[in-house]
Amino acid sequence: MVQWTDFERATIKAIFAKIDSAVVGPAALSRCLVVYPWTQRYFGKFGNLFNADAIRSNPNVIAHGKVVLDGLARAVQNLDDIKATYAELSVLHSEKLQVDPDNFKLLADCVSIVVAAQLGKDFTPEVQAAFQKFLAVAVSALGKQYY
Ligand code: HEM
């Protein structure tokens, strides 16, 4: 089981208390779709993903970005059992959506970049270390039901 220090717990919770999932989520998902264009293949039914502007203003991308961030917030509420919290979500991504799990890390990195930009000088190396650890655990849990 993952061990969290008091600082890590407090830091992860403070970040999620501070950020707006309806801002960070769409920004991170659209960044992922632009920077790693092969990730677009899973969102065929989302409509126009023709260029960066189209991706950023696509209402489906905006809505789904919030869904993803709210999914991460669920892990924050269950830091001591992220694996069980994500069991169903992992099955969904592997069996139904067939998302290559390498992509989880790419989206997580985009979340980091957007959060870093929002937090500015408060995103110290220590804060980043706690946040990256959280994201790594979430990514690993999402990949758990793959075989
Ligand atoms: C940080 C990692 C991720 C989290 C926390 C996450 C979370 C979620 C959540 C909460 C849902 C909604 C599930 C439901 O409706 O019950 C979802 C759906 C979905 N996810 Fe992920 N996801 C992640 C990464 C990815 C990646 C990297 C891709 C593809 C590149 C992806 C593709 C999809 C697709 C295609 C859907 C269904 C969208 C729809 O039809 O509306 N996810 N994800």
**Predicted confidence (pLDDT) per residue in 84-128, tens digit:** 999 999 999 999 999 999 999 999 999 999 999 999 999 999 999
The pLDDT of residue 57 is 98
- Distance between Cα 57 and ligand 1 center (Å): 19
Quick one: pLDDT at residue 146?
80
- Strand, helix or coil for residue 141: helix
Domain boundaries along the sequence of the chain: 6-142
33 lines ligand 1 (CB under 6 A): no
Q: CB of 67 closer than 6 A to ligand 1?
A: yes
CA of 93 to the centre of ligand 1 (A): 7
For residue 75, give the ligand 1 atom closest to its CA: 5
Please write the tens of the pLDDT for every residue from 17-39: 999 999 999 999 999 999 999 99
Contact 110 CB / ligand 1 (< 6 Å):
no
Comparing CA positions, the residue from 16, 1, 7, 140 lying closest to residue 74 is 16
User: Which pLDDT score is estimated for 143?
Assistant: 95
Distance 68 CA to ligand 1 centre (A): 6
Give the pLDDT confidence score for residue 45 in this predicted structure.
96
pTM exceeds 0.95, yes or no: yes
- Please give the pLDDT value at position 65: 98
In which band, very low, low, confident or very high, does the pLDDT at 1 lie, cut at 50, 70 and 90? Answer: confident
Return the closest-CA partner of residue 12 out of 102, 111, 104, 88: 111
Backbone angles phi, psi at 84, to 5 degrees: -70, -40
Q: Ligand 1 mean position to 37 CA, how many Å?
A: 16
The CATH number of the structural domain formed by 6-142 is 1.10.490.10
- What is the residue type of 72? L
